Structure 1
Amino acid sequence: MIAIDNKLISDEVLEEQFVCDLNKCKGGCCEDGDAGAPMEKWELEKLKAHYEVVKPYMTAEGIREVERQGKYIYDKDFGWVTPTINGAICVYGFRDQKGIIKCAIEQAYNDGKLDWKKPISCHLFPIKIQKSKRDPDIEYVNYEPREDLCAAACSLGKKLKVPVYIFLKDSIIRKYGEEFYEALEAAAKHLKDR
Structure 2
Amino acid sequence: MVEIGDTVVSFDLFEQRFCCDLSVCRGECCIEGDSGAPLEEEEVAELEKVLPTVWNDLSEECRRVIEKQGVAYRDADGDLVTSIVGDRECVFSYKDADGVCKCAVEKAYREGRTGFYKPISCHLYPVRLTKYEGFTAVNYHRWEVCACAEKLGRKIGMPVYKFLKEPLIRRFGEAWYKELEEAAEAYEAEFRSV
Q: TM-score, normalised by structure 2?
A: 0.95
Structure 1: runs of 5+ lacking an equivalent: none
Residues 38-73 of structure 1: per-residue CA shift (max 9 Å, x gap): 111121111122211121211111011100111111
Aligned-residue offset at 1:14: 1.4
Residues 112-143 of structure 1: per-residue CA shift (max 9 Å, x gap): 010111111001000011112xx1x3111100
| Residues 40 and 80 in structure 2, CA contact (< 8 A), matched pair in contact too | yes
Aligned-residue offset at 1:75: 1.8
Q: Identity of counterpart residues, as a percentage?
A: 39
Matched, 1:164 2:194: no
Letter in structure 2 aligned against 1:68: K
Give the match for residue 177 of structure 2: 181
For 2:80 and 2:187, the matched residues in 1 are separated by: 35
Give the match for residue 141 of structure 2: 144
Aligned-residue offset at 1:167: 0.3
CA RMSD of superposed structures (Å): 1.0
Aligned-residue offset at 1:145: 2.3
Moved over 6 A (4+): none
For 1:158 and 1:89, the matched residues in 2 are separated by: 28
Structure 2: runs of 5+ lacking an equivalent: none
Give the match for residue 73 of structure 2: 73
Residues 93-114 of structure 1: per-residue CA shift (max 9 Å, x gap): 1111222101111111111010
The alignment partner of 1:150 has SS state of helix
| Residues 50 and 105 in structure 2, CA contact (< 8 A), matched pair in contact too | no
| Residues 57 and 108 in structure 1, CA contact (< 8 A), matched pair in contact too | no
Residues 23-46 of structure 1: per-residue CA shift (max 9 Å, x gap): 111110001112101111121111
Matched, 1:95 2:95: yes
Residues 68-95 of structure 1: per-residue CA shift (max 9 Å, x gap): 1111112241521111000001111111
Aligned-residue offset at 1:187: 0.2
Letter in structure 2 aligned against 1:23: S
Give the match for residue 28 of structure 1: 28
Give the match for residue 38 of structure 2: 38
For 2:49 and 2:98, the matched residues in 1 are separated by: 31
For 2:78 and 2:187, the matched residues in 1 are separated by: 32
- Equivalent pairs counted in the alignment come to 190
| Residues 57 and 107 in structure 1, CA contact (< 8 A), matched pair in contact too | no
